[in-house]
């Protein structure tokens, strides 16, 4: 036990003994693992607040508004960041208890869908670690992202009742309760001042989770709002039943934060979602303002002291909400209020996909938020004057720039007009944001746009997920790489050191063996630990092209059947990921992968050569097990569609080589690691433009490439569906008729890249060298660097 922690561990022991009496046990020996988990978490939470708070920079307080925070398990992470991990591990040893087993008891709080939510979690970790004053604001969903299981190969969903009421890391903070109003009407008072007479009021209760900085004693809240009120409300009262086809009408107020909408990169049109969004914004803005005023600052000082960072457009309503409070409650003039808002809000865009850009039905918006609608109308009107001044009265231009258009409220446009900064999440994405989505806005506001490439926290994604690699890096690197990931550059110096190389290789093999055990346990599939572990783990979406991966697997299977004696480097293809419950085509792809896996895994000729493992219920804790074991990281989206990706960074830092298109952050990964250490393939954004201009016909590829045709026909002829030729029509018709994400166009190039991988793996030394250089050269992708970029380019920009 480290000297500095002796007192704290005495306190810890004291608490353990107290709980022991509390549970009427003779000795802690009798605790179940679940009890250990609860006792450790609760005790450490208390201990954390006993320490003097570490220093934070309060120049500007960052209020990070996000509908999703995919935080993952907190216990191990908090123990590490607080510096208690080793002490508590040693403490438990006296009771023959393994800390890792205790940590497995924690259910992941799955309060997000995918990359966007996980990014928010990494950013909170980095802000605390860098001492950037910050509060995360989200929702305290009762059900997180649904649980996924497979039945006959098909995804089935069930509710994720994650136990928010027993969760040991959060505390209810009754002094922060807020009131949120909906519906009703507005009455003019004077000038821009109105009185809102709402129809319904719901209470928002605050639940705080501690975000612990890495060994700096900084703790900041992630404040999650929970709707609570005994009242029920009738959704019909806002809209005479016109918007609620898919929703129940009589709803308990608590339903507002009952469930996370399971959509990723896709907008939701439902009224309850709009209410959720406003609830989130209203609680958060009120909290931010009251904190600001309680510190003794004036409203004029608000922009100097606060930033409200909008994680995509989901929290856009915070803008008209702050306007409303400033105008109606604080009686500021429009100019004063607008100036405060324009200097306080910043917007991060996470997608260019048109189907993901939020637009709300104007009537629904107006009925639910009549005062906010008036405010948006005025913002829109004043902006129109500005557009006319710049571009003349050009209807075509206005059609693109308007906030209100065609009876819709366009949230991205409201953000660009109102915010002082707009950023994309990787260089290529930020460039496309300007050139494709917002070119006229860029002409109007050339200095608003910038790039901040995403990052990941090395504390969770190396230290916690890959303890063996972490230890090797501790021994190799001078200075704490966990605080400054660029220090990993030093690893370049030992890339030719035999001992280091052997240790690095050994760690990867151990991690693969551990994943093999997990696969055996979950799928009863015994896999070849010496195969290339080729991993695609992410949400299922056509643009991410899991079906491109699948078609190659089928083609490989067919080739191996025809050429049983030819050389082939054994592969294990690992998939994990969920599809939105209403996204039938993505679910069809999941079904196809499972059925093909079943055939291949049961074919004795394929044993130890070609295997497919689809692990159900992808979540943060499962990612932590898969990532350290990967040899190949599949990042194969259609170029221009993946804004950044962050799994690509986690995998490459853990020594997987990327098989990817020039999309999102893959472009920057390639730049950092060097062309020789990454497998690039496929069309680029530029070559896609040419292809589409010439008229793309997927059928031509199908007809001209017998390998592609055979793979497609395997599914079309029912060979993976017991003879039923229609099972995969959804996917196949889309591919053959439109192929909107150019799967066929990239198929051949993808096959060639896979071929190169098979060859490259045979040269173990060269492969290992590439893997090590991936770890050494990707320090840029720490989320600490992302946060520093936010500071210098947006939050604290001079």
d(CA 798, CA 788): 14
How many residues sit in the footprint of ligand GPQ (CB under 6 A)? 19
624 belongs to the binding site for ligand GPQ (CB under 6 A): no
Q: Which of 644, 654, 661, 734 binds ligand GPQ (CB under 6 A)?
A: 644
643 belongs to the binding site for ligand GPQ (CB under 6 A): yes
Helices H / strands E in the chain, number of each:
32, 25
Which residues sit opposite 208 in a β-bridge?
Answer: 171, 223
H or E segment and range at residue 557: helix 546-562
Long-range contacts of 274-278 (CB under 8 A, 24+ apart): 274/360, 274/364, 274/365, 274/368, 275/182, 275/368, 276/67, 276/139, 277/67, 277/314, 277/315, 277/316, 277/317, 278/180, 278/182, 278/317, 278/321, 278/368, 278/369, 278/372
Active site residue 400: no
Active site residue 350: yes
Given 73, 176, 280, 350, the catalytic residue: 350
User: How buried is 408 (Cβ within 10 angstroms: 0-12 exposed, 13-18 middle, 19+ buried)?
Assistant: middle
- Are the beta carbons of 75 and 85 closer than 8 angstroms? no
User: Whose CB is nearest to ligand GPQ?
Assistant: 115
- CB-based contacts of 396, cutoff 8 Å, min separation 6: none
**How many CA atoms lie within 13 Å of 565's alpha carbon, on the beta-carbon side?**
0
The least CB distance from residue 544 to ligand GPQ, in Å, is 8
Residue closer to ligand GPQ (CB basis): 41 or 620: 620
Given 324, 650, 777, 780, the catalytic residue: 650
650 belongs to the binding site for ligand GPQ (CB under 6 A): no
Candidates 198-206, 551-559, 643-651, 671-679; binding stretch for ligand GPQ (CB under 6 A): 643-651
The least CB distance from residue 314 to ligand GPQ, in Å, is 8
In eight-state DSSP terms, residue 176 is G
229 belongs to the binding site for ligand GPQ (CB under 6 A): no
Q: Which of 265, 309, 413, 666 binds ligand GPQ (CB under 6 A)?
A: 265
Region 119-148 residues binding ligand GPQ, contact defined as CB under 6 A: 119
The least CB distance from residue 113 to ligand GPQ, in Å, is 6
Q: Which two tokens stand for residue 352?
A: 């260019």
Binding map of ligand GPQ across residues 146-185, x = CB under 6 A, - = no contact: ----------------------------------------
The least CB distance from residue 347 to ligand GPQ, in Å, is 12
Q: Which of 168, 204, 213, 645 binds ligand GPQ (CB under 6 A)?
A: 645
d(CA 698, CA 703): 9
- CB-based contacts of 311, cutoff 8 Å, min separation 6: 64, 65, 66, 67, 68, 116, 119, 120, 348, 350
Active site residue 242: no
Pairing of strands 171-172, 154-161: unpaired
Residue closer to ligand GPQ (CB basis): 174 or 354: 354
The least CB distance from residue 114 to ligand GPQ, in Å, is 4
Q: Which residue, 771, 122, 127, is CA-closest to 459?
A: 122
The least CB distance from residue 505 to ligand GPQ, in Å, is 30
315 belongs to the binding site for ligand GPQ (CB under 6 A): no
DSSP line for 559-595:
HHHH-TTS----EEEEEE----TT-HHHHHHHHHHHH
SS3 250: strand
Active site residue 561: no
Residue closer to ligand GPQ (CB basis): 324 or 539: 539
424 belongs to the binding site for ligand GPQ (CB under 6 A): no
Which residues sit opposite 471 in a β-bridge?
Answer: none
Region 344-363 residues binding ligand GPQ, contact defined as CB under 6 A: 350-351, 356
- Are the beta carbons of 206 and 173 closer than 8 angstroms? yes
Given 544, 547, 587, 641, the catalytic residue: 544
Pairing of strands 359-361, 449-451: unpaired
458 belongs to the binding site for ligand GPQ (CB under 6 A): no
Active site residue 646: yes
SS3 614: strand
**How many CA atoms lie within 13 Å of 609's alpha carbon, on the beta-carbon side?**
20
Q: Which of 102, 110, 116, 743 binds ligand GPQ (CB under 6 A)?
A: 116
The least CB distance from residue 414 to ligand GPQ, in Å, is 16
The distance from CA 124 to its chain's CA centroid, rounded to whole angstroms, is: 13
d(CA 705, CA 97): 58
267 belongs to the binding site for ligand GPQ (CB under 6 A): no
Active site residue 547: no
Region 703-742 residues binding ligand GPQ, contact defined as CB under 6 A: none
264 belongs to the binding site for ligand GPQ (CB under 6 A): yes
SS3 180: strand
d(CA 234, CA 246): 14
Residue closer to ligand GPQ (CB basis): 178 or 666: 666
The least CB distance from residue 115 to ligand GPQ, in Å, is 3
Given 539, 591, 619, 777, the catalytic residue: 539
Residue closer to ligand GPQ (CB basis): 264 or 634: 264
664 belongs to the binding site for ligand GPQ (CB under 6 A): yes
Candidates 107-115, 190-198, 456-464, 737-745; binding stretch for ligand GPQ (CB under 6 A): 107-115
115 belongs to the binding site for ligand GPQ (CB under 6 A): yes
The least CB distance from residue 685 to ligand GPQ, in Å, is 15
The least CB distance from residue 747 to ligand GPQ, in Å, is 23
646 belongs to the binding site for ligand GPQ (CB under 6 A): yes
454 belongs to the binding site for ligand GPQ (CB under 6 A): yes
- Are the beta carbons of 361 and 269 closer than 8 angstroms? yes
Active site residues: 350, 538-539, 544, 646, 650
* Residues within the interface to ligand GPQ (CB under 6 A): 113-116, 119, 264-265, 312, 350-351, 356, 425, 454, 642-646, 664
């Amino acid at each position: 036990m480290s000297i500095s922690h002796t007192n704290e561990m005495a306190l810890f022991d004291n608490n353990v003994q107290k709980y022991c009496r509390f549970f009427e046990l003779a000795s802690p020996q009798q605790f179940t693992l679940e009890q250990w988990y609860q006792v450790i978490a609760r005790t450490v939470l208390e201990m954390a607040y006993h320490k003097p708070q570490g220093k934070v920079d309060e120049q500007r307080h960052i209020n990070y508004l996000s509908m999703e925070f995919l935080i993952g398990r907190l216990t191990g992470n908090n123990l590490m960041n607080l510096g208690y991990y080793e002490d508590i591990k040693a403490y438990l040893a006296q009771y023959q208890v393994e800390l890792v087993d205790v940590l497995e008891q924690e259910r992941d709080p799955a309060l997000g869908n995918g990359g966007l939510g996980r990014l928010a979690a990494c950013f909170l970790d980095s802000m605390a670690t860098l001492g950037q004053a910050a509060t995360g604001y989200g929702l305290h969903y009762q059900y997180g992202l649904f649980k996924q299981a497979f039945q006959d190969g098909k995804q089935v969903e069930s509710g994720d009742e994650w136990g928010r009421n027993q969760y040991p890391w959060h505390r209810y903070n009754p002094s922060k309760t807020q009131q949120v109003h909906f519906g009703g009407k507005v009455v003019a008072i004077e000038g821009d001042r109105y009185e809102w007479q709402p129809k319904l009021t719901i209470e928002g209760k605050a639940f705080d989770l501690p975000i612990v900085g890495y060994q700096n004693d900084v703790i900041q809240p992630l404040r999650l709002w929970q709707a609570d009120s005994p009242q029920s409300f009738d959704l019909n009262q806002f809209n005479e039943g016109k918007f609620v086809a898919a929703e129940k009408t009589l709803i308990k107020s608590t339903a507002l934060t009952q469930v996370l909408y399971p959509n990723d990169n896709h907008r939701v049109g439902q009224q309850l979602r709009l209410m959720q969004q406003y609830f989130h914004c209203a609680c958060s803005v009120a909290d931010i303002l009251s904190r600001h005023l309680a510190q003794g600052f004036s409203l004029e000082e608000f922009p100097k002291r606060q930033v409200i960072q909008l994680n995509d457009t989901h929290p856009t309503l915070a803008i008209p909400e702050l306007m409303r409070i400033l105008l109606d409650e604080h009686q500021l003039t429009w100019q004063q209020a607008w100036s405060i808002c324009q200097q306080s809000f910043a917007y991060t865009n996470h997608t260019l996909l048109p189907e993901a850009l939020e637009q709300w039905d104007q009537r629904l918006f107006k009925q639910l938020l009549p005062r906010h609608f008036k405010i948006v109308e005025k913002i829109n009107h004043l902006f129109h004057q500005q557009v006319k001044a710049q571009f003349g009265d050009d209807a075509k231009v206005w059609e693109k720039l308007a906030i209100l258009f065609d009876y819709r409220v366009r949230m991205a446009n409201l953000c660009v007009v109102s915010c002082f900064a707009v950023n994309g999440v990787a260089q290529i994405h930020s460039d496309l944001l300007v050139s494709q989505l917002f070119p006229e806005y860029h002409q109007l506001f050339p200095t608003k746009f910038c790039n901040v490439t995403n990052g990941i926290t090395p504390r969770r994604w190396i230290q916690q997920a890959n303890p063996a690699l972490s230890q090797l890096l501790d021994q190799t690197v001078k200075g704490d790489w966990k605080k400054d990931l660029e220090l990993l550059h030093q690893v370049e110096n030992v890339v030719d050191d035999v001992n280091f190389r052997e240790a690095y290789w050994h760690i990867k093999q151990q991690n693969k063996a551990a994943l093999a055990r997990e696969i055996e346990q979950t799928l009863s599939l015994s896999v070849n630990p010496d195969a290339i572990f080729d991993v695609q783990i992410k949400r299922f979406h056509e643009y991410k092209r899991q079906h491109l991966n699948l078609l190659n697997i089928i083609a490989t299977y067919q080739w191996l059947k025809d050429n049983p004696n030819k050389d082939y480097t054994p592969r294990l293809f690992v998939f994990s990921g969920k599809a939105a419950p209403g996204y039938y085509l993505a679910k069809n792809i999941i079904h196809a992968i499972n059925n093909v896996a079943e055939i291949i895994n049961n074919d004795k000729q394929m044993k130890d050569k070609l295997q497919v493992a689809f692990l159900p219920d992808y979540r943060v804790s499962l990612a932590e097990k898969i990532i350290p074991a990967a040899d190949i990281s599949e990042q194969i989206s259609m170029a221009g569609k993946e804004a950044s990706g962050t799994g690509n960074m986690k995998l490459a830092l853990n020594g997987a080589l990327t098989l990817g298109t020039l999309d999102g952050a893959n472009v920057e990964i390639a730049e950092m690691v060097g062309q020789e250490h990454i497998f690039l393939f496929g069309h680029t954004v530029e070559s896609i433009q040419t292809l589409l201009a010439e008229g793309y016909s997927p059928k031509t590829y199908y007809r001209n490439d017998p390998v592609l045709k055979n793979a497609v026909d395997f599914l079309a002829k029912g060979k993976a569906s017991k003879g039923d030729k229609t099972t995969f029509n959804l996917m196949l018709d889309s591919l053959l008729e439109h192929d909107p994400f150019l799967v066929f166009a990239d198929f051949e190039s993808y096959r060639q890249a896979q071929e190169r991988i098979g060859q490259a793996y045979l040269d173990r030394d060269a492969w290992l060298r590439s893997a090590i250089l991936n770890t050494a050269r990707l320090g840029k992708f720490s989320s600490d660097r992302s946060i520093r970029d936010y500071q210098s380019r947006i939050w604290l920009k001079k």
